[in-house]
Structure 1
């Protein structure tokens, strides 16, 4: 179904995925780098309330009746459908647009290069296909049977149960990286329904995932994708039994004191170096800055030198590597640097970096006069290494600040980080591991990949399930 824009061109209508959603009166236009992309339906608040109640009742009971092995098979099928791959006969007739259409829309609406969209989509599908490994990692016994029969024994005498503590998970989702949808999707495998409010910038990933789950045979009462403004996302987070809220400081600020909402962002991930890094270690750090176009929570934002480590040497080494990033067309699969569909955003970020104290090492080394670059498709901010005495904030492109701090200040001066890499400082490494403000710690270099068996700040099961005493007759 389409709607006509002001020029008379037909635009697709991106509709909610919800068993109780039949008509939507209002839509908003999704802008892209080459013009409007689609009309996005807006879900009224009362419809979101109805969807949550449906999920909490019918959806929860429907998932509880399904064996976990069957749900895992259906998630794997959904992963194949998401990528547009051949689906088994058990899947219903397809309603998903071709994968190439999906990839193009996400690139044009977010500015994320096509190759990075495809990589992230494959990681999302990988997470669905290998959901069993993630569920085992989060099981108190390391087995899957506790999701079907919660009773288990510890030390042969203590009777316990691993039981759901919520009947629905809500989420206010970001537009930075499609991979992040793997985490709420895992809730379905854990027999917990979901209600997602996607970002207006990228509703395509959420709707495609929702439809893939339904076509794979997940009960429609358990899957709800509800586009709407930010207040609708806040409503979902408030009315759901537990929720996840992704975004920058402003987006998550309202939930920081709410124990029923897990907040994610900004990541401000950091590397702490106690000695001169090797060439291989510098390669991993550069990958940490550039990965996912610099827009994910696990991207390195801050490099902190301490002890015998010279920050100028580190900044120069990183700049050499970041200058090799490909700044080709956004639809080219080899392009590394994202664009900004809204030029004002790029100008504002460029001004904020220019106003900070420090030296743009990439500009000096690359002999460039401007960080802001205007190719034919969309404005870019060229990869930047800032040598500065102050810790930098996070920006949505390959950007990192290199600073120096005394050992005694670390890790307290960081305030927190999603991910920390520690090289050459075993004492600080132990301090970082013990810090409740830093969620993931890697020693020796930035990790080659994100393992979905690891925590994403914390395990999903830690707030969807609880361990209770159970002594059956």
Structure 2
């Protein structure tokens, strides 16, 4: 990875970065606007908000537009990936873009660049990543269907997708990019906290030749979310339990999150190497991702493991928290205090291995760096094991074989550090455990792996197509 660019001074008052809507008719400014602030409270950008009528018009135009041919989409995505990191888009160079994302996201400087470059990779690889979900018995288009017995054909469940994004990390873009690769026309509602990445992705797509109707960027107030999802054929939404409760029952909406990733360490595996690997899973990605380990179950002395984990995390944080390489995220002071209040409440029944006074560090550039935090629990059934906070924070509880998979339910990822094949089988059979790793950190990622299933399982369906001898497919 190249060295991060030097910080760009925040825009002075009256010279905020302008983020217009990117509609089906091009860039548009609206009277309804919102100021995007950095973690330090300084205003950075003026974000236009989409009125409901304009959102409706954009979705209607997208539905009328057919998709570009697959080969054209793939070529344009490859070009957009290049432009994302090399072009000046919306008046911003890539270095200026990185600085803005760093200032609002709370991620440290090296991680901001790493995640932003991963977005470019996600743009380029979107067609291949989407195709991972296609069944072996289906082809991509009806013209490929064999004459005679025919074939399954992988086809879209709709034509338009609404993507309602969170601000956790720039790579949240990667899901809707797969939909675009499959021919959907996508309406993106970016996070109002971090709208810069979505705006730059859509700008790069248009610079690479995608039409204005292929992808639109329509920030809105919270009240605009339901209307956007209602107007699109399918929806993709990210959030926690509240979002899942609101939209989870709707079969046309896929909810990403929450994570509640856990690591299980069985007897004989609580080694220094395991402690180091768990520390990685807790702390990488600022500890703010859905795949970060938050719950740790240990067969044996869980308190000793928690102390070793706390020591490892404290060593990693030492000397970094007031620099641009801070371990945890940098948050506005008010947000940090609200999270600390939750920890103070939890401390009534959980043992704080790292004193709460050490969990928050004021940063000289503004805001507060949170983490690491490690707590012990006495009961693997304690609900705190599923508490998910957006910084490096782990809850360590005891586990015995008699507990089985019960304490591991409702997890996006479980890493089982074990040689017990029957336990791994049980985890795979458990419907509420979405992914199973065996001695591989919960944060291990690969663009070709399913996350919450393959996204194509939600976006696509299979239809049988039989083409006779006189059909166009045989010509």
Fold shared per TM-score above 0.5: yes
How much does 1:411 deviate? 2.3
Match 1:462 to one of 457, 462, 467: 457
Task: Please give the residue correspondences for 1:42-191 in structure 2 after superposition, counting only pairs within 5 Å.
Answer: 42-58=49-65, 61-63=66-68, 66=69, 68-84=70-86, 94-141=89-136, 146-149=139-142, 151-152=144-145, 157=149, 159-191=151-183
* C-alpha separation in 2, matches of 1:340 and 1:448: 22
2:250 is aligned with 1:258: yes
How much does 1:323 deviate? 0.8
* C-alpha separation in 2, matches of 1:137 and 1:8: 48
* C-alpha separation in 1, matches of 2:336 and 2:204: 34
How much does 1:226 deviate? 0.6
What is the match of residue 6 of structure 2? Answer: none
Contact 1:15 1:40 in 2 (8 A): yes
* C-alpha separation in 2, matches of 1:207 and 1:464: 23
Match 2:22 to one of 11, 17, 21: 17
* C-alpha separation in 1, matches of 2:273 and 2:17: 47
What is the match of residue 336 of structure 1? Answer: 327
How much does 1:148 deviate? 4.3
Render the CA deviation track for 1:409-468: whole Å, top value 9, x for unaligned. Answer: 332334411111011133222111112211111101316741111112011211221111
* C-alpha separation in 2, matches of 1:179 and 1:23: 26
2:362 is aligned with 1:374: yes
Match 1:31 to one of 19, 37, 44: 37
What is the match of residue 421 of structure 2? Answer: 426
Task: Could you tell me which runs of 5 or more consecutive residues in structure 1 were left unpaired when the two chains were aligned.
Answer: 1-6, 86-92
What is the match of residue 313 of structure 1? Answer: 304
What is the match of residue 227 of structure 1? Answer: 219
What is the match of residue 301 of structure 1? Answer: 294
Match 2:372 to one of 379, 383, 401: 383
How much does 1:227 deviate? 0.4
How much does 1:151 deviate? 4.7
2:271 is aligned with 1:278: yes
Q: 1:281 to 1:149 in 2, by over 3 A?
A: farther
Query: Equivalent residue of 1:207, what SS?
Result: helix
* C-alpha separation in 2, matches of 1:15 and 1:174: 19
Contact 1:172 1:234 in 2 (8 A): no
* C-alpha separation in 2, matches of 1:128 and 1:106: 18
Q: CA RMSD in A?
A: 2.4
Q: 1:448 to 1:354 in 2, by over 3 A?
A: closer
Contact 1:268 1:302 in 2 (8 A): yes
Contact 1:96 1:208 in 2 (8 A): no
Query: Equivalent residue of 2:461, what SS?
Result: strand
Render the CA deviation track for 1:258-294: whole Å, top value 9, x for unaligned. Answer: 1111111221111112123333332221111111101
* C-alpha separation in 1, matches of 2:219 and 2:350: 41
Contact 2:21 2:29 in 1 (8 A): no
Contact 1:107 1:331 in 2 (8 A): no
What is the match of residue 360 of structure 1? Answer: 352
Q: 1:246 to 1:466 in 2, by over 3 A?
A: same
Query: Equivalent residue of 1:196, what SS?
Result: strand
Render the CA deviation track for 1:334-386: whole Å, top value 9, x for unaligned. Answer: 33221112x122111112112212222233xxxx8442222222112220111
Deviates more, 1:406-415 or 1:445-454: 406-415
Contact 1:198 1:225 in 2 (8 A): yes
* C-alpha separation in 2, matches of 1:282 and 1:150: 54
Q: Which runs of 4+ in 1 moved over 4 A?
A: 148-151
Q: 1:78 to 1:406 in 2, by over 3 A?
A: same
What is the match of residue 471 of structure 1? Answer: 466
Task: Could you tell me which runs of 5 or more consecutive residues in structure 2 were left unpaired when the two chains were aligned.
Answer: 1-11, 469-475
Task: Please give the residue correspondences for 1:407-422 in structure 2 after superposition, counting only pairs within 5 Å.
Answer: 407-422=401-416
* C-alpha separation in 2, matches of 1:257 and 1:137: 26
What is the match of residue 90 of structure 1? Answer: none
Query: Equivalent residue of 2:437, what SS?
Result: strand
Query: Equivalent residue of 1:402, what SS?
Result: strand
Contact 1:423 1:444 in 2 (8 A): yes
* C-alpha separation in 2, matches of 1:115 and 1:310: 36
How much does 1:217 deviate? 1.1
* C-alpha separation in 1, matches of 2:111 and 2:322: 10
What is the match of residue 444 of structure 1? Answer: 439
Contact 2:25 2:212 in 1 (8 A): no
What is the match of residue 7 of structure 2? Answer: none
Q: Normalization by structure 1: what TM-score?
A: 0.88
Render the CA deviation track for 1:70-109: whole Å, top value 9, x for unaligned. Answer: 3222212212222236xxxxxxx85451112111111211
